[in-house]
């Protein structure tokens, strides 16, 4: 699988096919030595290849310079990933939400598919946006090369069948058949595009051309590939881990391993790589139990580079395009879109916005747009926490949201609120507004009781807000009480002298004790020490 996929994805990155094999040697060997996943197969992947093309193609028209830029990009991606692994910053990929990743990946898959129309239809199509490519195909539909179409569609059919019978190496089968048909039927004479001569030999050791100007130009796409490549890799590695419980994947070590693979590979003419799902799945299905499987794969590719590259001369470009198209069909995540629509309309909107943004703006800008959307959603949700007004279930010690349940006991003398978030500077205005809204519904309330257990932390701004609220509502004849404060929050309030200012009778183990005190004026003294000492 790796040999035809590597050549296909090199073409997708707008590189000569041989560079796909270069990217499958040293990087895979480095990962095998350092990685923690025993089945993950690293090398060229479709999404990263598309990002390479999108990020580098606009910088130069010189083929030699383009190659130098892609190797420099691989080194930069490797440095970013390696540093993130060393400083244990793997958690940063969590800021790419699942809907954003799915939307970006789906849009990128569509762009990959459209980019391969030139090879599957036998047309010369200039690089451009999706609508420009489709319009060019429409305008030149009379020039479609039908022999190319037949070979491409036939290869896709075989690949789909091979997917059903997983032990059939479909990519290898279509490569062999494509070479035989092109050679025996002399299809090149009819205009069928083939790979042509591929140089033999191992990749040479070449220093990337380090240039401040080029580094600045490549930095945005380097960060995008570092994040997307690692996100894809760790997702595949975790999938493999779930199937085999005998080892654990370490995310930070994975980032170090993949970063090292990219860094070292850059010195041997590799472009950026990541973990591939389909190849890793085959690795797992045929029983690979250690990274020796990857080392053996490297040995086979080295043998191919040394002795077998002349065999690929007659390989039709349409066959490689078919391999790409079949590989990316699963990336268009329609099921995810329906799932998000069903369970969370906001996340569905995030999915669609990212997908549309990527299609309109391009791959590199699309991932930046997706990251910004993710951060915006994080900030919005953090600054707009859920505040639930509570009522007591009759004949029960439990409380529930009065907006969700009927027949709850809701005493007009008391306002009971649960704030489901830590309190910090970004959400204080929303919390104050929420408390005020509920007080206005019961302006004669004697007490506001805050169910505090979901409040995991408070910062200095939150402490000041609490002090202001206590003063404000006391002036209105309403006292504020707290029930269920956890240890770290309790410690902060003690240091701020809020405990001393309010008095111990404003803090309780739970809501029931608070209400019992408010209704009867009694306190369970045997539990009072647990309110003020130790951690919860």
Measure the CA–CA gap between 311 and 49, rounded to whole angstroms: 24
DSSP 204: P
Sequence-distant (≥ 6) Cβ neighbours of residue 216 within 8 angstroms: none
Going from the C-alpha of 403 to that of each of 79, 161, 386, 482, 483, the distances in angstroms are 52, 54, 12, 22, 21
pLDDT surpasses 70 at 169: yes
What is the predicted pLDDT for the residue at 258? Answer: 95
Q: Is the Cα torsion angle 484, 489, 490, 494 positive or negative in sign?
A: negative
Joined together, the tokens standing for residue 31 give: 């990962």
Sheet holding 447-451, edge to edge: 399-401, 387-392, 414-419, 447-451, 479-483, 507-508
Joined together, the tokens standing for residue 479 give: 């006292």
Query: pTM for the whole thing?
Result: 0.75
Between CA 138 and CA 146, with CA 142 as vertex, the angle to 5 degrees is: 105
Final residue in a domain of this structure, among 312, 346, 379: 379
More confidently predicted of 535 and 457:
457
Residues in the chain: 536
Question: Band of the pLDDT at 246, cuts 50, 70, 90?
Answer: low
Q: Are residues 174 and 37 in the same domain?
A: yes
How much of the chain is helix, strand and coil, in % rounded to 5? 65, 5, 30
| Residue with the two structure tokens 């770290």 | 488
Measure the CA–CA gap between 323 and 171, rounded to whole angstroms: 7
Question: Band of the pLDDT at 245, cuts 50, 70, 90?
Answer: low
Give the helix ranges, DSSP H, for 330-362.
Answer: 334-343, 345-361
CATH number at residue 421: 3.30.750.24
Question: Band of the pLDDT at 154, cuts 50, 70, 90?
Answer: very high
Q: Are residues 234 and 348 in the same domain?
A: yes
Give the residue from 73, 47, 49 showing the smallest Cα distance to 60: 73
What is the predicted pLDDT for the residue at 363? Answer: 75
What is the predicted pLDDT for the residue at 525? Answer: 65
| Residue with the two structure tokens 């010189």 | 62
Give the residue from 49, 28, 101 showing the smallest Cα distance to 321: 49
Question: Band of the pLDDT at 536, cuts 50, 70, 90?
Answer: very low
Q: Are residues 397 and 312 in the same domain?
A: no
Q: Are residues 429 and 359 in the same domain?
A: no
- Say if CB 192 and CB 147 are below 8 A apart: yes
SS3 (DSSP) at 364: helix
- Say if CB 258 and CB 35 are below 8 A apart: yes
Measure the CA–CA gap between 37 and 241, rounded to whole angstroms: 7
Q: Are residues 323 and 396 in the same domain?
A: no
SS3 (DSSP) at 450: strand
Helix or strand holding residue 119 (H, E): helix 117-121
Neighbours of 195 (CB within 10 A): 21
What is the predicted pLDDT for the residue at 273? Answer: 96
The chain-wide mean pLDDT, for the chain, equals: 88
Q: Are residues 339 and 419 in the same domain?
A: no
Total structural domains in the chain?
Answer: 2
Give the helix ranges, DSSP H, for 442-524.
Answer: 460-475, 487-495, 498-502, 511-520
In SS3 terms, 272-291 reads as CCEEEHHHHHHHHHCCCCCC
Q: State which residues form the domain around 89.
A: 2-379
pLDDT digits 0-9 by tens, 270-314? 999 999 877 887 777 777 888 898 999 999 999 999 999 999 999
pLDDT surpasses 80 at 239: no
* Beta strand pairing call for 399-401 and 414-419: unpaired
Measure the CA–CA gap between 40 and 234, rounded to whole angstroms: 9
- Say if CB 35 and CB 253 are below 8 A apart: yes
Q: Are residues 318 and 429 in the same domain?
A: no
Q: Are residues 324 and 199 in the same domain?
A: yes
Q: Are residues 239 and 366 in the same domain?
A: yes
Sequence-separated contacts (24+) of 182-188 with Cβ below 8 Å: 182/151, 182/314, 182/315, 182/316, 183/314, 187/147, 187/151, 187/316, 188/314
Percentage of the chain beyond pLDDT 90 is 51
- Say if CB 60 and CB 209 are below 8 A apart: no
Give the helix ranges, DSSP H, for 420-486.
Answer: 428-441, 460-475
Measure the CA–CA gap between 96 and 227, rounded to whole angstroms: 9
pLDDT surpasses 50 at 535: no
Between CA 306 and CA 108, with CA 321 as vertex, the angle to 5 degrees is: 115
| Residue with the two structure tokens 């489901």 | 420
pLDDT surpasses 70 at 244: no
Final residue in a domain of this structure, among 348, 379, 410: 379
Give the residue from 283, 265, 282 showing the smallest Cα distance to 274: 265
Q: Are residues 368 and 420 in the same domain?
A: no
Among 3-12, 35-44, 270-279, 362-371, the least confident range: 362-371
SS3 (DSSP) at 222: helix
Measure the CA–CA gap between 281 and 287, rounded to whole angstroms: 10
Strand partners, 391: 400
Q: Are residues 22 and 149 in the same domain?
A: yes
pLDDT digits 0-9 by tens, 314-368? 999 999 999 888 888 877 888 889 999 999 888 899 899 989 988 888 777 787 7
Q: Are residues 185 and 289 in the same domain?
A: yes
Measure the CA–CA gap between 160 and 327, rounded to whole angstroms: 10
Question: Band of the pLDDT at 113, cuts 50, 70, 90?
Answer: confident
- Say if CB 448 and CB 415 are below 8 A apart: yes
363 exposure class (CB count in 10 Å sphere: 0-12, 13-18, 19+): buried
DSSP 421: S
What is the predicted pLDDT for the residue at 531? Answer: 66
Sequence-distant (≥ 6) Cβ neighbours of residue 441 within 8 angstroms: none
More confidently predicted of 417 and 101:
417
Percentage of the chain beyond pLDDT 70 is 95
Final residue in a domain of this structure, among 346, 379, 412: 379
* Per-position b or e across 91-106, b if 16+ CB within 10 A of its CB: eebeebbebbbbbbbb
């Amino acid at each position: 699988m790796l040999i035809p996929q590597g050549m296909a994805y090199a073409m997708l990155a707008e590189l000569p096919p041989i560079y796909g094999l270069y990217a499958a040697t040293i990087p895979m060997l480095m990962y095998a030595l350092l990685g923690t996943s025993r089945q993950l197969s690293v090398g060229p992947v479709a999404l990263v290849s598309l990002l390479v093309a999108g990020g580098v193609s606009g910088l130069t028209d010189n083929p030699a310079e383009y190659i130098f830029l892609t190797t420099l990009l691989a080194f930069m991606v490797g440095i970013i990933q390696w540093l993130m692994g060393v400083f244990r910053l793997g958690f940063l990929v969590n800021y790419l939400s699942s809907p954003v990743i799915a939307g970006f990946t789906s849009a990128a898959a569509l762009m990959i598919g459209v980019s391969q129309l030139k090879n599957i239809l036998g047309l010369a199509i200039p690089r451009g946006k999706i609508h420009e490519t489709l319009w060019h195909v429409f305008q030149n539909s009379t020039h479609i090369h039908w022999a190319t179409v037949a070979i491409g569609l036939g290869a896709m059919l075989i690949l789909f069948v091979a997917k059903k019978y997983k032990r059939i190496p479909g990519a290898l089968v279509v490569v062999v058949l494509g070479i035989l048909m092109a050679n025996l039927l002399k299809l090149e004479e009819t205009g069928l595009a083939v790979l042509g001569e591929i140089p033999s030999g191992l990749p040479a050791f070449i220093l990337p051309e380090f240039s401040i100007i080029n580094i600045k130009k490549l930095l945005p796409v380097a960060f995008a590939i570092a994040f997307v490549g690692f996100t894809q890799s760790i997702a595949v590695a975790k999938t493999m881990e779930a199937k085999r419980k005998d080892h654990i994947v370490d995310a930070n070590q994975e980032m170090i391993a993949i970063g090292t693979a990219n860094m070292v590979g850059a010195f041997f003419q590799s472009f950026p790589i990541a973990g591939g799902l389909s190849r890793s799945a085959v690795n797992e299905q045929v029983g690979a139990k250690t990274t020796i499987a990857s080392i053996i794969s490297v040995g086979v590719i080295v043998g191919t580079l040394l002795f077998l590259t002349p065999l690929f001369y007659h390989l039709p470009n349409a066959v490689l395009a078919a391999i790409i198209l079949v590989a990316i069909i699963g990336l268009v995540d329609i099921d995810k879109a329906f799932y998000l629509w069903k369970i969370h309309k906001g996340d569905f909107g995030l999915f669609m916005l990212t997908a549309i943004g990527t299609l309109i703006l391009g791959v590199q800008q699309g991932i930046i747009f997706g990251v910004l959307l993710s951060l915006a959603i994080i900030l919005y949700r953090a600054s707009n926490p859920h505040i639930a007004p509570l009522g007591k279930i009759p004949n029960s010690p439990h409380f529930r949201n009065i907006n969700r349940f009927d027949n709850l006991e809701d005493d007009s003398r008391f306002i009971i609120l649960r704030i489901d978030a830590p309190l910090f500077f970004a959400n204080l205005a929303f919390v104050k507004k929420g408390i005020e809204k509920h007080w206005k519904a019961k302006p004669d309330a004697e007490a506001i009781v805050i169910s505090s257990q979901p409040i995991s932390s408070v910062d200095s701004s939150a402490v000041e807000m609490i002090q202001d609220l206590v003063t404000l509502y006391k002036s209105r004849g309403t006292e504020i009480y707290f029930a269920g404060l956890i240890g770290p929050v309790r410690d902060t309030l003690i240091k701020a002298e809020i405990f001393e200012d309010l008095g111990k009778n404003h803090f309780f183990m739970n809501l029931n004790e608070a209400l019992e005190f408010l209704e009867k004026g009694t306190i369970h003294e045997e539990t009072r020490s647990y309110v003020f000492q130790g951690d919860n």
